[in-house]
Amino acid sequence: MGHALCVCSRGTVIIDNKRYLFIQKLGEGECLEVTDEAWLLLPFFEGTLWNEIERLKDKGNFLTEDQILWLLKSLTKRNGRDAHRSLLLPYRDLKPTNILLGDEGQPVLMDLGSMNQACINVEGSRQALTLQDWAAQRCTISYRAPELFSVQSHCVIDERTDVWSLGCVLYAMTFGEGPYDMVFQKGDSVALAVQNQLSIPQSPRHSSALRQLLASMMTVDPHQRPHIPLLLSQLEALQPPVPGQHTTQI
């Protein structure tokens, strides 16, 4: 790789001051030749956004509104940077446990197995049921958009499913738990719960503008939810100057 390799422990290595999981040591001067497999060397991250939310909650603290807006904007940019192109691939399974945090707090998306095309034209009950079954397997129930629980036989599913999931992530960052986490944990029906407009708690820690943004993202009717570009412009208007210029990675 052209850089010194330092074995730090039995489980990690450091390359260029970045820590990686240590998979296999190749003795000095050796070369491993294989023709039927490929290995990826990925960066190591200490934890997820959910780990940070829980760490703060254990101390009786929460993310500040400025931190929340910066993280949300970074996550939204991942979805919106190619929003003008037909090749946009929504994530479809956004949740705090799928968001790693870098050394400087920048969010990094992991587990990309649910990504697919942005705009899905559903034409018929068979296709609707197929998509509904796919969502049940690939999209975490407590962060799944309402339109994916009961897919209509003639409809369009677009990237606003991610806007809903981002709203759930925003709620979790704001209040320390997802809006439907308790519904799921109690064994109640999340599918029924998401059909009603979410009640957002009042809190002196958060501005009315943030609550209004959250309410718009959690609108049950997907046609009334903002598209990614509009959401980005709303965040630009809300967000004060922030440290660094990081954007979400995948």
Do 65 and 147 share a structural domain? yes
Is the domain of 38 the same as that of 129? Answer: no
pLDDT tens string 5-63: 444 445 666 667 777 665 555 555 555 676 777 777 778 888 999 999 999 999 999 99
Give the pLDDT score at 8. 43
| CATH code of the domain containing 208 | 1.10.510.10
| Amino acid 231: pLDDT | 92
The residue that leads in pLDDT, 246 or 189, is 189
Phi, psi of 6, rounded to the nearest 5 degrees: -115, 120
23 and 58 share one domain? no
**Is 30 found in the same domain as 152?**
no
Largest CA distance in the chain: 63
Shared domain for 186 and 159, answered yes or no, is yes
Residues 6+ apart with CB under 8 A from 154: 122, 123, 124
Retrieve residue 116's tokens: 């697919």
Which residue segment(s) compose the domain that 26 sits in?
Answer: 1-44
Give yes or no: residues 7 and 66 share one domain.
no
Tell me whether residue 133 is in a domain.
yes
Rounded percentage of the chain residues whose pLDDT exceeds 90: 57
Q: Are residues 120 and 146 in the same domain?
A: yes
User: What is the predicted pLDDT for the residue at 37?
Assistant: 78
Phi, psi of 123, deg, nearest 5 = -130, 85
Instruction: Compute the average pLDDT of residues 203-225.
Output: 94
58 in active site: no
Given strand 12-15, what is the order of strands in its sheet?
Answer: 6-7, 12-15, 18-21
Residues 6+ apart with CB under 8 A from 112: 91, 250
- Claim to verify: residue 123 and residue 77 sit in the same structural domain: yes
The answer to whether residues 34 and 57 belong to one domain is no
The verdict on residue 67 lying in a domain is: yes
Separation of alpha carbons 136 and 37, rounded Å? 31
The dihedral of CA 209, 174, 101, 96: what is its sign? negative
Position 250 in a domain = no
Q: Do 183 and 93 lie in a common domain?
A: yes
Least confident of 110-119, 163-172, 238-247: 238-247
What is residue 87's predicted lDDT score, i.e. its pLDDT? 41
Could you read off the pLDDT of 61-97 as tens digits, one per residue?
Answer: 999 999 999 999 999 886 544 444 444 568 889 999 9
Averaged pLDDT, 110-123: 85
Of 58, 66, 82, 93, catalytic: 93
Assign residue 111 a region: left if phi > 0, alpha if psi is -120 to 50, beta otherwise? left
Beta bridge partners of 43: 20
Residue 28's pLDDT is what? Answer: 57
Residue 243: inside a domain = no
Residue 65's nearest CA partner among 145, 174, 164 is 174
Yes or no: say if 82 and 118 are a contact pair by the CB < 8 Å rule. Answer: no
Question: Based on the domain organization, do 30 and 64 belong to the same domain?
Answer: no
Tell me how far apart the terminal alpha carbons of the chain are, to the nearest angstrom.
22
Q: Which long-range contacts (CB under 8 A, 24 or more apart) does 208-212 make?
A: 209/238, 210/65, 210/68, 210/69, 210/174, 210/238
- Split into its structural domains, the chain has a count of 2
Highest mean pLDDT out of 26-40, 82-96, 98-112, 220-234: 220-234
Work out the average pLDDT over 205-209.
92
Shared-domain flag, residues 26 and 53: no
Which of 214-218, 235-239, 240-244 is least confident? 240-244
